[in-house]
Chain A
């Protein structure tokens, strides 16, 4: 071991603290915080502009009670000032997004479990490639796929086909998010479960997945938000509809209206009244996503603090 002798007292310490460089260090620290604040603002400001712009243009339309209770009908209704609204569009969106979630959540979580928990399974590599391909595929092609799979054989546009198309949008996102959160759950939890003599699937379902619940829900929400805003896959699946459907079943098996697709058709219409309703559709879509986020956050709030 080296012995420090008084022979070299002049040796300068590395990174000596002097009042001057201490001040410099604090200054640099404050600069970094400043940059981070700026970066945060750069993200928040465009978001706020969008929200403000949509709401300020659309709030008048959504304040009209008939906006929620009536269907759209022909442009004549809006021009004459009789009852018109997007009630049927909101219903249709709930149905289509609901179908999409019903399909994509279980399959997506299942695929995520497969990707994370069974890396040696022979199907795993092809699942990964398929999942990534699906994720990168343009949304309109997913609409085409749903068209070929559902619309053609059924002979009609339908809420079901729209839901399937949106499920294709959600699936890879849910799968990847699930895989990601399962992977950060400590391996020790799995070993603890296995050491109790629990079968593998039990361990995953009852110990690993609950521990990852918050992350999985976040993944589902991100997927939902992505899909809820998609218009392209719905163009030739859900197709659109100007009226309430005659029976509840026809929301599933008949053509239905959806907010993103309706927003587009209202916006490109030649009527100022419809433009205003288009902004209203934007407000509803925004609320729809926000409400879903808040509700699912509250529903999955951890009662048992996951403290690992």
Chain B
């Protein structure tokens, strides 16, 4: 079975000057404190280098968009942020990803604990097919032994409200999750990630399989969620990146080319390649 959902990356080209990247990092240094900092994260697929020495700082309660053409390594990088590569054979991650002072790749750090703090929403909605809507939302709690009914009810309602789904499903919480629409399923996946009280939410093209209406709802949701969580979103859609994010990082051929606040990125990019990409000259 093919277990790798990420694309096979193209061989990396030499990274841009370190000076450029440091400068980029400096420009992100705004008011909020850093929640997650990566230091020289590289991802190898066998002998292929998929992501090369990416150092980024994600600030608390902000949205960072990762953009770039197909195969540029943005999804691969995203998946390295909650150790999703651990189970993919032949993938090796090096470098550091420091969450509130702890390197998630340090020895002795349990990936399960990390994933409870760094949740993930995938490209396609992934409700557990045999569970009800309610059971899906509280799955992350119920399956680790939390049985307190009142608490679960409370968490389910709060998470569904946060995910802007409560009003649509409150009368059929016991209905199978597979029976609701794709957009609702995606918001359910978000609610499920929120229910375990993740501090960071990784979103891998969360709207790419949704219609414009549902996409709009998810984008509104991202705006609201920013009050509570740090969001890192991979998107192919540059308008989306411009709409939802505070910071944007541009990836190309496995390298981080440029990162800055979204406004600067889209109005006055420093690198020519960034400019070429965002103006639609390639990608």
Contacts and interface: CB of A to CB of B under 8 A. Distances in A.
Contacts of A119: 89
B95 interface: no
Nearest to A116: B1
Contacts of B128: 189, 192-193, 206-207, 210-211
Contacts of B114: 197
Contacts of B192: 192, 196
A197 B129 contact: no
Interface stretch (B7-15, B68-76, B136-144): B136-144
Among A190, A195, A198, the most chain B Cβ lie within 10 Å of the Cβ of A195
B36 to A, nearest CB: 16
- Chain B interface category by residue count: 35 or more
Nearest to A303: B176
Contacts, number: 99
Given A195-B193, A196-B196, A307-B178, A187 B5 contact: yes
A213 interface: yes
Contacts of B179: 305, 307
Given A192-B189, A305-B179, A210 B130 contact: yes
B49 interface: no
Contact of A196 (B124, B139, B178): B139
A3 interface: no
Interface in B83-119: 84, 87, 89, 112-117, 119
Interface string A239-266: 0000000000000000000000000000
Nearest to A206: B143
B215 interface: no
B150 to A, nearest CB: 21
A188 B115 contact: no
Nearest to B1: A183
Q: Is the interface of A mostly helix, strand, loop or mixed?
A: helix
Contacts of A43: none
Interface residues of A, number: 29
A183 B189 CA distance: 23
Interface in A179-195: 183, 187-195
B20 to A, nearest CB: 33
Given A191-B5, A304-B131, A196 B126 contact: no
A187 B130 contact: no
A213 B196 CA distance: 27
Contacts of A19: none
Q: Is the interface of B mostly helix, strand, loop or mixed?
A: mixed
Interface string B1-32: 11101000000000000000000000000000
B78 to A, nearest CB: 11
Among A187, A194, A196, A211, the most chain B Cβ lie within 10 Å of the Cβ of A196
A304 B178 contact: yes
B51 interface: no
Contact of A188 (B117, B126, B140): B126
Contacts of A16: none
Interface in B38-75: none
Among B122, B126, B130, B139, the most chain A Cβ lie within 10 Å of the Cβ of B130
Given A188-B122, A206-B143, A307-B179, A195 B129 contact: no
Contact of A198 (B82, B143, B189): B143
Nearest to A120: B89
B231 interface: no
A192 B126 contact: yes
Interface string A27-54: 0000000000000000000000000000
Contacts of B129: 189, 211, 304, 306-308
What 9 A-B pairs have minimum CB-CB distances, sorted nearest first?
A197-B116, A304-B176, A192-B126, A195-B120, A196-B140, A210-B130, A197-B115, A307-B178, A306-B129
17 contacts: A187-B1, A188-B5, A188-B126, A191-B84, A191-B120, A192-B126, A192-B128, A195-B120, A197-B112, A197-B113, A197-B115, A197-B196, A202-B143, A210-B128, A304-B130, A305-B176, A306-B178
Given A197-B114, A206-B128, 7 more contacts: A188-B122, A191-B122, A196-B193, A197-B113, A197-B140, A198-B139, A304-B130
Interface of A: 119-120, 183, 187-199, 202, 206-207, 210-211, 213, 302-308
Interface of B: 1-3, 5, 82, 84, 87, 89, 112-117, 119-120, 122, 124, 126, 128-132, 139-140, 143-144, 176-179, 189, 192-193, 196
